[in-house]
Structure 1
């Protein structure tokens, strides 16, 4: 038997090397942060759905370029202060806003 391979009833199966404790700890932390991000995004989209309903009722456009520009500027500063690449933060925000606008357009089409 070669190193890193276990032989079972079905033939050889690669073994998984043990995870160093520090790596396991960091991965656990990342998993917790990812869970928090998913929950935060869910809450954000609940709020933006309500905004979409209100915009549709008031016959307002799905997109508000002025607000979006102000948010980008604000988030770039927050990203810099947090040590996050502001270009990445802006790209992420653009992705989220595009999805929100799509939702708002869908809501308006149903009214």
Structure 2
């Protein structure tokens, strides 16, 4: 049987892992946005549109499949990607406006 102290220690370990994952996610997102900002600058300099619906559809399909293999809800993965894409498009629009 687990004691309250064991449960508290385990909870601490879980929370420490969650904090580490959150930090990794933030750093990975920052790197991703650095690259997508470069894409936005390139698109702006080449007079390309900030949005690419075909690429976005490919990404959604790819991430939904990745989510399935990772045992993550594909709908959640799609919503997350849509959120990221909206932010990326804003960055691309800002680059085009400069």
Q: Which has the higher contact order (CA 8 A, sep 6+)?
A: 2
Alignment equivalent of 1:45, drawn from 16, 24, 33: 33
Offset of residue 54 of structure 1:
0.3
Alignment equivalent of 1:103, drawn from 64, 67, 91: 91
Offset of residue 58 of structure 1:
0.4
Is 1:65 equivalent to 2:15 in the alignment?
no
Offset of residue 23 of structure 1:
0.4
Offset of residue 77 of structure 1:
0.3
Bigger fraction of residues in strand: 1
The correspondence of residues 1-111 of structure 1 with structure 2, limited to 5 A, is: 20-110=8-98
Instruction: Name the SS of the counterpart of 1:20 in structure 2.
Output: helix
For structure 2, the 5+ residue unaligned runs are: none
Misfit runs of 4+, over 3 Å:
none
- Largest Rg, 1 or 2: 1
Offset of residue 86 of structure 1:
0.3
Offset of residue 35 of structure 1:
0.2
How far apart, CA to CA, are the structure 2 residues paired with 1:76 and 1:35? 23
Q: May I ask how many residue pairs the two structures share in their alignment?
A: 94
